[in-house]
A and B are shown apart, each in its own frame.
Chain A
Amino acid sequence: AQSVTQLDSQVPVFEEAPVELRCNYSSSVSVYLFWYVQYPNQGLQLLLKYLSGSTLVKGINGFEAEFNKSQTSFHLRKPSVHISDTAEYFCAVDAGGTSYGKLTFGQGTILTVHP
């Protein structure tokens, strides 16, 4: 079974500052990793994914994440945030195989960008 821990429930930051949202996971098998964003009163939108290959993955809206297998982490970063990045961010894992599509989500991190 997999589990996901998002280490910060809330992250306040000022506009144009850098931000890192932390995610650790545990799994006995290789996993696929995802970050989703949920804007107020909207569904989930995929930010980026790690399936294989380069450990640094780039997503939409200037976000990137680095897969670190030894530390079982997949932290999300953005060098300069905007007010419009205010949202809740979810880290998720998928063990693939027969578990394909069965995402295990973290508890979410609410990112609030202040002017």
Chain B
Amino acid sequence: NAGVTQTPKFQVLKTGQSMTLQCAQDMNHEYMSWYRQDPGMGLRLIHYSVGAGITDQGEVPNGYNVSRSTTEDFPLRLLSAAPSQTSVYFCASSIPGTGGYTFGSGTRLTVV
């Protein structure tokens, strides 16, 4: 049982480049979300999805896009990377209405 799988684990981008962070879960969870974690800021919600075909913005959505074509996958796209997007990104999934999230192991992104 893999849980939530994120790739890549580490990434360095140049300012202006785009990339997609991958997230897949095998628990048949309807709810998936992306967070970023910065020192002193806690985890902040970027985007979330309550099911295939449905996505919505979280607290800090600017500069990011998401899509949810299947229950399993929830990729996060950085459109034009900026140094302010240097962070650790976590994908999480859960059964709707519960707080028992399962997180992926994270992607450490550096934008130079």
A and B held together in a complex: no
Chain B residues proximal to chain A, CB less than 8 Å: none
Chain A residues proximal to chain B, CB less than 8 Å: none
